[in-house]
Chains A and B, each alone.
Chain A
Amino acid sequence: MTASNNDQHIPIEELSAYADGEVLSDQERLVIEQHLAVCDECRAELESLRAVSSLLAHLPEPELPRSFRLTSEDVASTRSQAGPSEPVPIEPWIIRHQSLFRYAGLAAALLLVVIVTIDLIPDGVDETDEVFTTMEDAPEEEALDTEDAADPPGVMSVEEDADEPAIESAPESTGDAEVAEDQDAAEFAEEAAPEDLDDVQDHPVEVPEADDSDHPVAEPAPDDSDHPMAERAPDVDDAARLAADDEDEGWSTLQIAAIVLALLSVGLLLTGFVLPRWWSSSA
């Protein structure tokens, strides 16, 4: 759209806005006016748009059919409990919702305590050892995860398949027992490899290899390489071992729940108690 070029008409949208005095800049208005001075067609367009506007402005208006004043019944449902409302101060969400965060944080903390208590009660102190074992296991399993995504299920299935030799000496410290477990798992993975090839794909081969490298699972191996087989107590009940496995799985789920709850409650409590104070002291 240029002023000098009369062949190019003003876009009708611009003409409409010009008719309303809603053109953005003086420059734009000047361009339109210069064009209108020489272009009958655009002038006619402009006038037709003005005629429509004028007709609309003069449309007969409907009368009000009734009063729309509100009765107390009309508003009973909307603000029934609200007495004279206080002016709402403009506050950030940390302040406005701080009680919500506090309650949510306390609820999460309470739930955490309940979960931990429930699982401490039935089996007593021995269970706590299991907890630590599981906790120490976790990072190693994660390490395996990064190595090969199919590993953890593979290891578990292998352990389940090969549960009979997967026995450990009860009197050993948990650390040793854990190493033995890992060692066992690795070895049984190797043993089970031919049968489980379909399920676990390459991993049974990789796990034993990892023992020789610096893989996290393999690290404790050199120290205790002699122990696992020797320490295996032959009289440990298979069922007990299975039960222990089940316990481990249950614990790891609960463990995750407990960790999530712990983080959640810490976050919520911080947001509910500390952030508001920080905000009001800084404001």
Chain B
Amino acid sequence: MNDSEREIEQQLIANARGGDLESFNQIVDRYQTLVFRVCLRILRDSGRAEDATQDTFIKAYSAIDQYHGGSFKSWVIRIATNRCYDMIRAERRRPAASLEAQPVETQPSWSVEPAAENPDNYADRSQLSDYLEHALGQLSDDQRTAVVLYDIHGYSYEEIAGITDASLGTVKSRISRGRIRLRDMLRADEPSRELFDSVWRQSSDDTT
């Protein structure tokens, strides 16, 4: 985000603070995709992610007086992750509806935008993505959140520490352990190992 965009955003926030709903909705336009995707990766259910996203923006609107500058992107994602964690905790208190009771999905249940890349590579990547989505679902909530925020959404370690109320060391450890578990799960069975190793060789070739 460049300076003028940041200036516009701060103006929108100031207007929203004054009760201007349209200004706030322009902020919603900017962040709803991000918020929904983060919620979906944490909750792994489209319907619940929609609820969490809606709750996040209602909460952000009502609590906008508590935003004291800094990264709005971090502030709003902090609200979103807290909301997701609340929902997860609430579900765990009701064992009948717990995540463990649901069948484990290997295919993501949401529609995706096809990645724009080399079509030769696409089929492999796409299948590997399915494996990876499944593996992500096996991580602990904290590891998944940290990995998703860093590797998918590009937050820094420091920002993730602020968002998740954790120390820098904890974030570092969650990210590394999350990645290692993902890697080990991808290597665990034959089809996904072959796909992973081919991608791995490719990325090694790219970097060397």
Residues on A facing B (Cβ under 8 Å): 12-13, 15-17, 20, 22, 47-70, 72, 74-75, 78-79, 82-85, 87-88
The list of the 9 closest CB pairs from A to B, nearest first, reads A16-B176, A60-B112, A78-B62, A56-B151, A51-B200, A62-B110, A13-B176, A69-B25, A68-B32
Residues on B facing A (Cβ under 8 Å): 17-19, 21, 24-25, 28-29, 32-33, 35-37, 40, 46, 50, 53-54, 57-58, 61-62, 65, 108, 110-115, 117, 125-126, 128-129, 132-133, 147-148, 150-152, 156-157, 172-173, 175-177, 179-180, 182-183, 186, 196, 199-200, 203-204, 207
Given that A53-B151, A59-B132, A79-B19 are contacting pairs, would A17 and B61 also be in contact in the complex, using a CB cutoff of 8 Å?
A: no
Given that A64-B36, A78-B61 are contacting pairs, would A85 and B19 also be in contact in the complex, using a CB cutoff of 8 Å?
A: yes
Q: Can you list 18 contacts pairing A with B, beta carbon distance less than 8 Å?
A: A13-B177, A15-B176, A16-B172, A20-B175, A51-B204, A56-B147, A57-B152, A58-B117, A61-B112, A61-B113, A64-B36, A68-B35, A68-B54, A70-B21, A75-B21, A78-B58, A79-B61, A85-B65
Expressed in whole angstroms, the minimum distance between the Cβ of B110 and any Cβ of chain A is 4
Given that A51-B203, A70-B28 are contacting pairs, would A82 and B19 also be in contact in the complex, using a CB cutoff of 8 Å?
A: yes
Expressed in whole angstroms, the minimum distance between the Cβ of A162 and any Cβ of chain B is 60
Q: Give bound CA distance, A53 to B148, whole Å.
A: 10
Given that A12-B176, A68-B53 are contacting pairs, would A88 and B207 also be in contact in the complex, using a CB cutoff of 8 Å?
A: no
Given that A54-B203, A56-B151 are contacting pairs, would A49 and B180 also be in contact in the complex, using a CB cutoff of 8 Å?
A: yes
Q: Are A68 and B17 in contact (CB under 8 A)?
A: no
Q: Give bound CA distance, A12 to B172, whole Å.
A: 11
Residues of A within 8 A of B28 (CB): 67-70
Q: Are A84 and B151 in contact (CB under 8 A)?
A: no
Expressed in whole angstroms, the minimum distance between the Cβ of A258 and any Cβ of chain B is 41
Q: Give bound CA distance, A55 to B148, whole Å.
A: 11
Q: Are A70 and B204 in contact (CB under 8 A)?
A: no
Q: Give bound CA distance, A58 to B115, whole Å.
A: 7
Q: Are B132 and A56 in contact (CB under 8 A)?
A: yes
Q: Give bound CA distance, A154 to B21, whole Å.
A: 71
Residues of B within 8 A of A63 (CB): 110-113
- Chain B, residue nearest A48 (CB): B183
Residues of B within 8 A of A72 (CB): 21
Residues of B within 8 A of A85 (CB): 17-19, 65
Residues of A within 8 A of B199 (CB): 51, 54-55
Q: Give bound CA distance, A70 to B35, whole Å.
A: 14
Residues of B within 8 A of A12 (CB): 176, 180
Q: Give bound CA distance, A56 to B117, whole Å.
A: 15
Contact with B183, one of A49, A59, A68, A75 (Cβ below 8 angstroms): A49
Q: Give bound CA distance, A61 to B108, whole Å.
A: 11
Q: Are B132 and A22 in contact (CB under 8 A)?
A: no
Q: Are B21 and A53 in contact (CB under 8 A)?
A: no
- Chain A, residue nearest B180 (CB): A12
Q: Give bound CA distance, A84 to B64, whole Å.
A: 12
Expressed in whole angstroms, the minimum distance between the Cβ of A34 and any Cβ of chain B is 18
20 more CB-based (< 8 A) A-B contacts, given A58-B117, A59-B132: A16-B176, A20-B175, A48-B183, A48-B200, A51-B196, A52-B182, A55-B129, A57-B151, A58-B129, A60-B112, A61-B37, A62-B46, A62-B112, A65-B110, A68-B32, A68-B53, A70-B61, A83-B19, A84-B18, A87-B17
